[in-house]
Structure 1
Amino acid sequence: MNKVKSVIKGAWMVLAGVLLGGQLFTPCAATQATPQKATLQSLSEPQRPSARRALPIKGYKSHSGTKILFIRNPGLPMFDVHVSFAAGSAHTHHQPGLAALTFSLLNEGVDGKDINAIQETFDQLGARLGMGITADRASFSLRSLSDEARRAPALELFAQMLGKPLLPEQSLSLATSQLLHFLDTEQASHATQADQALHGLMFPKHGYSQSVYGTRVGLASVTRDQVQDFHRSAYAAGNALIILVGDLTEDEAQRIGAQISNALPQGPAVAAIPSPGSPDAQQLLRPVKSSSQAYLRLAQPGVLRNSPDSAALQIANRIFTARLMEELRERRGMTYDVQARLSTLQAQSTLVIELQTRPELADAALAHIKGMFRDFLIHGPTQKELDDTKTWLAGSAPLRSASNAQIVRRLLDIGVHDLPLDLDFSTQRAQELNLDAVKKALNQHLDAERWNTVILGPTTNQQPLPNPVQSEANTMCRATTEFVAS
């Protein structure tokens, strides 16, 4: 019933839009002017160069060692500032949970304001605070209006929160309880358990093998003194990356960057996360869980984001994902989604293939994926696959910088991995690739047999691979012409 109402409501909204726009329907098509010839372009034709906004990157470094990246984007009277630190969970492998607890306490209070007052102040100023932590980094973002009267107090509070947090003792137990709850949530997710089991195979005895939230034993032993020490070192100016995007002049961006940098504890960058090294090859782990699905994970070491071959492997992964989707979803109906991706961990990249399927098809799916990848290494992609992927990358590039938030994400990738200061660098690198370059990169860095594998699910008798279904209607979701909105 609700769907029907939505359709009717949508139809009336479209009609109202046409009437309000002055484009009334007329009873006789013959009275209309001759329509102009459509200017649509076939997808099979070479794509015309699209008009792109000029978004030059300005890069600076503060006297305290903070890296600052800025792009002026004056379309809206607002800006985004993103500050990240090499302070993720993998930096506290010796004390699991220390990084997450420190991160959680930063917005718990500053001089004169508790957590509620901090949030209320941002709300009153029309500003939005964001926070996130990964194995590599802890990140904080602020979206604010560009108007000086709103911007100045929002930035002052933001800088104070990062540089001089109270890290209150009374909040330590509450933050610990929240992180323990997050650990419980992870244990209730079969997909997360499969991911963590795979990390254990790929990164044994390394910070990447732990949950971002730490461990129960580690969290119970963290003290406020340890939190304060970690904040002084990991949240130092020399360990920070500041990104500014939006309606700011270059002079304003420099002043804001210096303001935040000067508010942070003064100190150098922390030591880089050590490489976990190469894991033992061809390990298979089968955690038994009661589930209606089997969760498959395959992984092997890849290349770092700043490798010259990163673009070639990213293109190859996109092509191989398309092949997996066609073979396992469209032709055999074994899964709803499957993908191959390169992780962007700073110390060790990995190629990961992940999917869910029926438990009785887990072994057949695993064998088939390995066989497909072996064939992919031998023959590489086809010219059409490469051309289609390059066309898609070129055509979608402007969409990946359509908003401040998207630009921030791309600048973060550039800043963290020391890439050239050019938003289009990766796209341009991809356009220069040919079949030989992609195939060479595949065989130089990846191996057909070097998989670590996790199959999480129930124990059951295995069945052979389903026969492919050849049908024009062989898709899981396809619109028909039987229903129309009226």
Structure 2
Amino acid sequence: MMFRALVAAFAILLPGLACADIPIKEVKSPGGLTAWLVEDHNIPFTALEIRFRGGTSLDDPGKRGAIYLMSGLIEEGAGDLDSKGFAEARDSLAASFSFAASTDTFSVSARFLSENRDEAVDLLALALNKPRFDEDAVIRVREQVLSGLRSNLRDPSSIASQTFDQLAYGEHPYGSTGRGTLASVAALSRDDIVQAWKTALARENVYISAAGDITAAELGLIIDRVLGGLPETGAPLPGAAPWLLPPGVSVIDFPSPQSVVVFGQSGISQKDPDFFAAFILNEVMGGGRFSARLMTEVRDKRGLTYGIGTYLVGMDHSDSYLGQFQASNDKVAEAISVIRAQWAKIATEGISEKELTDAKTYLTGAYPLRFDGNAPIASILVGMQMQGMPIDYPNTRNAKIEAVTMEDVKRVAARLYQPEALRFVVVGQPVDVTPSP
């Protein structure tokens, strides 16, 4: 209870910091690792974020799902502590650890009070360096993963996303779910989990950040305690993911009164000079506001869906521009037609001055609200590092948005929006929707 109260208190204090310059320090550990730090000693609490590049894309061939399963097992006992003993030790320190594997990243998040910092760090180091992977834990967690996979086979949103990815990326790891299949996960052994751990956690691929009650010197020592024993190198990263997605419509029959629709095309890199113009354009087209064009045209004017959104997706080896909505089966065809028309309209006409101004106001005003606690700050910092952003990015980002001109957005709209390239994946029983060959 005290831990949650301190977190809440820190979240209340921090917006003042978020609206000013974010004082980010670069820290070098004695062992040569680099971290970014926002130091604040008002509350005796620290958030530590560690990311390893690669994630589930590093699964060995034929072992799909091993790294994801490993992420669920790494906290199930370490050193001389079994699963129950580890959980009791963590809880006695009022600490919080989470481990997760996604397409490009293996993530470690730790939260601990200053008074228990040393013990919490030692426990985290034990989990990362000496996980047990006991056979009973492997069996139990593997069954949990299998249960989730069985559920996904009956979930239209999962079916739509996985079908879209397979069409877009084929045999590349991006083309299949990192959670594996029923067959691949069922076949995983403890030895496979150990190999996945060795594969995914390598110092050459690590990114680190912290925020809260900790100095640069203290953080440097902690980094080496936690990560110093890990191997220097891991498995090679996968190559670029070719964009294979053909235009048209795919229909996967699913007995339901509604259809789930995922649509998209190739995207734009965050490192591209035109990214901020594309970011503004997406906010106008299908961003988070009810005034977005697709919400207006598809939802408000025609009542075809309760909600629709689009988003620029940047991954390590590919960039895409995706959208999603649900609609009753008799309304899917019209919704697809409206989306294509809006895609074509923005490509040829761009956006209005009011849309540009309103999008800038929203995007610059909402950004500081993301820095509402040391946990979000630490997460943002580590994401910045992985994306290759400069350390002063939080203090320059809004100026980059404000610098985008109407000429920029019109030029980028013609480049980004490709109505002839859109692919729609429909899971349901849509009326008057003809699948592409």
> Normalised by the size of structure 1, how large is the TM-score?
0.80
Q: Structure 1, residues 365-410: CA drift from partner, whole Å, max 9, x if none?
A: 1011011110101111111111111111222222111212221232
For 1:348, give the aligned amino acid: S
Using the alignment, how far apart are the partners of 1:199 and 1:425 within structure 2?
34
Q: Following TM superposition, by how much is the alpha carbon of 1:171 offset from its aligned partner in structure 2, in angstroms?
A: 2.5
Q: Following TM superposition, by how much is the alpha carbon of 1:445 offset from its aligned partner in structure 2, in angstroms?
A: 3.8
Q: In the alignment, which of 208, 222, 226 is matched to residue 256 of structure 1?
A: 222
Q: Which residue of 2 aligns with 1:430?
A: 401
Q: Following TM superposition, by how much is the alpha carbon of 1:454 offset from its aligned partner in structure 2, in angstroms?
A: 0.4
Moved more, 251-260 or 269-278: 269-278
Q: Which residue of 1 aligns with 2:410?
A: 439
Give yes or no for the alignment of 1:82 onto 2:62. no
Give yes or no for the alignment of 1:52 onto 2:19. yes
In the alignment, structure 1 segments of 5+ residues that lack a partner are 1-49, 463-486
Q: Which residue of 1 aligns with 2:7?
A: none
Q: Which residue of 2 aligns with 1:181?
A: 147
Give yes or no for the alignment of 1:294 onto 2:287. no
Q: In the alignment, which of 440, 443, 450 is matched to residue 421 of structure 2?
A: 450
Structure 2 SS opposite 1:360: coil
Using the alignment, how far apart are the partners of 2:311 and 2:60 within structure 1?
25
Q: Which residue of 2 aligns with 1:368?
A: 338
Structure 1 SS opposite 2:43: coil
Q: Structure 1, residues 280-315: CA drift from partner, whole Å, max 9, x if none?
A: 421421001111211111111112233222222111
For 1:143, give the aligned amino acid: R
Q: Which residue of 2 aligns with 1:397?
A: 367
Moved more, 211-220 or 384-393: 211-220
For 1:182, give the aligned amino acid: G
Q: Following TM superposition, by how much is the alpha carbon of 1:170 offset from its aligned partner in structure 2, in angstroms?
A: 3.5
For 1:128, give the aligned amino acid: S
Structure 2 SS opposite 1:440: helix
Give yes or no for the alignment of 1:130 onto 2:98. yes
Using the alignment, how far apart are the partners of 1:77 and 1:408 within structure 2?
15
Give yes or no for the alignment of 1:210 onto 2:181. no
Structure 2 vs 1, CA of residues 360 and 220 (structure 1 numbering), >3 Å: closer, same or farther? same
For 2:308, give the aligned amino acid: V
Q: Which residue of 1 aligns with 2:13?
A: none
Using the alignment, how far apart are the partners of 1:445 and 1:164 within structure 2?
47
> Normalised by the size of structure 2, how large is the TM-score?
0.88
Structure 2 vs 1, CA of residues 180 and 377 (structure 1 numbering), >3 Å: closer, same or farther? same
Q: CA RMSD in A?
A: 2.1
Q: Which residue of 2 aligns with 1:310?
A: 275
Give yes or no for the alignment of 1:68 onto 2:4. no
Q: In the alignment, which of 115, 118, 133 is matched to residue 86 of structure 2?
A: 118
Structure 2 SS opposite 1:449: helix
Q: Which residue of 2 aligns with 1:17?
A: none
Structure 2 SS opposite 1:59: strand
Structure 2 vs 1, CA of residues 114 and 352 (structure 1 numbering), >3 Å: closer, same or farther? same
Structure 2 vs 1, CA of residues 111 and 409 (structure 1 numbering), >3 Å: closer, same or farther? closer
Using the alignment, how far apart are the partners of 1:162 and 1:457 within structure 2?
43
- Larger radius of gyration, structure 1 or 2? 1
Runs of 4+, deviation exceeding 3 Å: 60-67, 459-462
Q: Structure 1, residues 196-222: CA drift from partner, whole Å, max 9, x if none?
A: 111111111121122221112222332
1:296–1:355: 8 Å Cα contact kept in structure 2? yes
Q: Which residue of 1 aligns with 2:8?
A: none
Q: In the alignment, which of 47, 50, 73 is matched to residue 105 of structure 1?
A: 73
Using the alignment, how far apart are the partners of 1:93 and 1:62 within structure 2?
32
For 1:329, give the aligned amino acid: R
Q: In the alignment, which of 247, 250, 255 is matched to residue 285 of structure 1?
A: 250
User: Aligned residues: percent identity?
Assistant: 25
Q: Which residue of 2 aligns with 1:276?
A: 241
Q: Which residue of 2 aligns with 1:26?
A: none
Using the alignment, how far apart are the partners of 1:273 and 1:53 within structure 2?
39
Q: Which residue of 1 aligns with 2:232?
A: 267
Q: Which residue of 2 aligns with 1:5?
A: none
For 1:391, give the aligned amino acid: T
Q: In the alignment, which of 113, 119, 135 is matched to residue 153 of structure 1?
A: 119
Using the alignment, how far apart are the partners of 2:418 and 2:361 within structure 1?
28
Q: Following TM superposition, by how much is the alpha carbon of 1:71 offset from its aligned partner in structure 2, in angstroms?
A: 1.2
Using the alignment, how far apart are the partners of 1:403 and 1:215 within structure 2?
37
Structure 2 SS opposite 1:138: strand
Structure 2 vs 1, CA of residues 105 and 383 (structure 1 numbering), >3 Å: closer, same or farther? same
Q: Following TM superposition, by how much is the alpha carbon of 1:80 offset from its aligned partner in structure 2, in angstroms?
A: 0.5
Structure 2 SS opposite 1:144: strand
Give yes or no for the alignment of 1:163 onto 2:134. no
Moved more, 371-380 or 87-96: 87-96
For 1:413, give the aligned amino acid: G
Q: Which residue of 2 aligns with 1:471?
A: none
Structure 2 vs 1, CA of residues 260 and 275 (structure 1 numbering), >3 Å: closer, same or farther? same
Give yes or no for the alignment of 1:172 onto 2:107. no
Structure 2 vs 1, CA of residues 185 and 61 (structure 1 numbering), >3 Å: closer, same or farther? farther
Using the alignment, how far apart are the partners of 1:367 and 1:51 within structure 2?
42
2:297–2:338: 8 Å Cα contact kept in structure 1? no
Structure 2 SS opposite 1:227: helix
Q: Structure 1, residues 132-190: CA drift from partner, whole Å, max 9, x if none?
A: 2211112121111122xx11101100011012212223432222211111101212221
Moved more, 222-231 or 380-389: 222-231
For 2:360, give the aligned amino acid: K
Q: Which residue of 1 aligns with 2:5?
A: none
Q: Following TM superposition, by how much is the alpha carbon of 1:122 offset from its aligned partner in structure 2, in angstroms?
A: 1.4
Moved more, 326-335 or 82-91: 82-91
1:62–1:261: 8 Å Cα contact kept in structure 2? no
In the alignment, structure 2 segments of 5+ residues that lack a partner are 1-16, 287-291
Q: Following TM superposition, by how much is the alpha carbon of 1:60 offset from its aligned partner in structure 2, in angstroms?
A: 3.7
Q: Following TM superposition, by how much is the alpha carbon of 1:350 offset from its aligned partner in structure 2, in angstroms?
A: 0.8
Q: Which residue of 2 aligns with 1:192?
A: 158
Q: Which residue of 2 aligns with 1:346?
A: 316
Structure 2 vs 1, CA of residues 337 and 75 (structure 1 numbering), >3 Å: closer, same or farther? farther
Using the alignment, how far apart are the partners of 2:30 and 2:175 within structure 1?
36
Structure 1 SS opposite 2:399: helix
